[in-house]
Amino acid sequence: MRAAVAHQSFNATQLHLLKMFSFTKTEQTLQDLKKLLRNFYIQQVENEVDNYKIDDKILNEHLRTPYK
**pLDDT tens-digit readout, 15-63:** 998 998 898 899 999 999 999 999 999 999 988 877 766 655 566 666 6
**What's this model's pTM, rounded to 2 decimal places?**
0.56
Which of 1-5, 11-15, 44-48, 63-67 shows the highest mean pLDDT? 11-15
Nearest alpha carbon to residue 24 among 14, 32, 16: 32
pLDDT at 1: 47
